[in-house]
Structure 1
Amino acid sequence: MGREWEQHDEVEVDATPEQVWEAIATGPGYDSWFMGRTEVVPGEGGAVRTDLGGYVMESTVTAWEPLRRFAYRGDETPDGRFIAFEFLIEGREQGSTVLRLVTNGFLPGDDWEAEYDAMRKGGAMYFATLVAYLTHFAGRTATPITAAAPVVPDARGVFDRVPGALGLAAEPVAGDRVQVTPEGLPAIDGVVDFVNPDAIGIRTQDALYRFVRGFIGPMIVTHHLFAEGVDRKETEQAWRAWLTRLSA
């Protein structure tokens, strides 16, 4: 048993087709809004490789039409699991762009519902992060920061402590102000720009912060820092220490 699924997203952003293409079809562009670190080998038959800290997602580019269409499909596992993405770009007057994303795949097994729900929520967060990037940081490149909390029995409980640790209400909403200095890290001064049951996003003048409860495994942070001179290794260590304290 299993399920084929498909998701459609569409948005008009105040960014040019060139800026949108750069965001979705280059490694530095992906690093500015997606999880992990990504390398794109251009052209149909090329590759998209996303390193999640030891695990690498491998995909093949299935469509490459610069400024118009970009698609890729993940390698299929023996049980038929895969995920594929298709981005469609349409320039509009006044320099704006309509971006459409079609995501589809197959989830094997009788318990696909829970995984599909987590994938749907995660997809919503990353599409919102892409929109935030194109709206507020188009043309800039971020340093991607990924860190995981220790594995503990109550991963949900760790995520539930995040709002309090950020000085937010237990159930934050988009638009809430955030002014906090996490121990061992620079101050965060911004607004909540995304919330769902498994993720909290914060936007500042020079960063997109993302706090995520993993479907399987520990909670993670996947931040995108646009300030100059960020030491990625040192910053990831600092966020890992923050997550460790949160998990204690």
Structure 2
Amino acid sequence: MAKSFEIRKTIVLEATPEQVWRTIATPQGQAAWSPDPYQSMEGMDVEATENERLAVRTPEAANGAFHAFEYLVSADDESTTTLTFVHSGYLGDDWEAEFDFGELTGYGWDMYLHTLAQYLKHFAGRPASFVTAQGPPTSATPDSWATLENALGVAGPFEQGQQLRLTPQGLPALEGVVDFAYPEFVNFLALRTTDGLYRFHDNSVMGMPQAVGHYIYADIDREATEQGWSDWLARVFA
């Protein structure tokens, strides 16, 4: 598969450039929508023009791999802003995975940028905690997604706008609306509730376990909440 890649996405956001900038360029804002908001920026090459452009490039690894992320912010009018996002890079001289990194990662960015839009539309200004947990290695098989759905008390495929109630044993039930849906061949569940955006990922196509990545806009103990979801995944796939 190709080792060099470029993923380009454009989205119109219901927010001012200043609001968008705070959400993409500060740790507090990143916690509301991004895939790895608590990653250290140490060693990164960062270029920033406030309210206009943010570019971040990772250091080059021994195998030549690097990732570059660029955000271009452009005001449309008093209430909307266009964000252009580019993720490019090189996967390394020894990259041999069979899946198409650019395609799958592009689907991921569709979801994360949608999450950004949902935050700015429904939860803007509220403090955010990103809660993530991963199942055991036994959950990396293609049939594990059905097990996860069963443990939540639902069955897909899911449609955007669909009302759902999730019942993870040992955790509070979640009621809300499906706010994002992939094509049928991508197993994923996204639920918007009154206090957060909850995401359940089937990573088995990449040989990785089932996982959750939730954005909660309420006063919580993040570590305890992460442990609760981690324990739940361990029970589901015991």
Describe the SS at the equivalent of 1:95: coil
1:65-103 residue CA offsets vs partner (Å, 9 max, x unmatched) = 011111101122122211111111112223211111111
Q: Which whole-Å CA distance do the structure 1 matches of 2:174 and 2:190 have between them?
A: 12
DSSP-derived class of the 2:18 partner: helix
Letter in 2 for 1:103: H
Q: Aligned partners of 1:114 and 1:9: how far apart in 2?
A: 17
Match of 1:176 in 2: 162
CA drift of 1:154 comes to 4.4
**1:74-93 equivalences in 2 (<5 Å):** 74-93=58-77
Q: Which amino acid aligns with 1:105?
A: G
TM alignment of 1:6-21, pairs within 5 A:
6-21=6-21
Deviation string 1:95-125 (CA, Å, 9 cap, x unpaired) is 2111111111112334464333332222222
Deviation (angstroms), 1:198: 4.1
* Matched residue, 1:60: 45
Which contiguous aligned blocks of 4+ residues in structure 1 show a shift greater than 6 angstroms? none
Q: How many residues align?
A: 231
Query: Structure 2 residue aligned with 1:107, among 77, 83, 91?
Result: 91
Answer yes or no: is 1:226 the counterpart of 2:221: no
CA displacement at 1:136 relative to structure 2: 1.6
Q: Secondary structure at the match of 2:20?
A: helix
Deviation (angstroms), 1:235: 0.9
Q: Structure 1 regions of 5+ residues with no counterpart?
A: 40-46, 50-57
Relative to its length, the structure with more strand (as a share) is: 1
Q: Which of 37, 41, 52 is the equivalent residue of 1:48?
A: 41
Matched, 1:163 2:149: yes
Q: Which amino acid aligns with 1:194?
A: F
Distance in 1, matches of 2:116 and 2:105, equals: 16
Could you tell which deviates more after superposition, 126-135 or 14-23? 126-135
Following TM superposition, by how much is the alpha carbon of 1:165 offset from its aligned partner in structure 2, in angstroms?
Answer: 3.1
The one-letter amino acid of 2:128's match is A
SS in structure 1 of the partner of residue 91 of structure 2: strand
* Aligned position for 2:57: 73
Distance 1:177 1:167, change over 3 A: farther
Distance across 1 between alignment mates of 2:109 and 2:193: 22
Which residue in 1 is equivalent to 2:127?
141
Q: Determine the C-alpha separation between the residues in 1 that align with 2:142 and 2:217.
A: 30
How far apart, CA to CA, are the structure 2 residues paired with 1:216 and 1:48?
Answer: 28
Partner residue, 1:120: 106
Letter in 2 for 1:234: A
Is residue 2:31 matched to residue 1:31?
yes
* 8 Å CA contact retained: 1:145, 1:232: yes
- TM-score, normalising length: structure 1: 0.84
Unpaired runs of at least 5, structure 2: none
User: Aligned equivalents of 2:138 and 2:22: distance in 1?
Assistant: 38
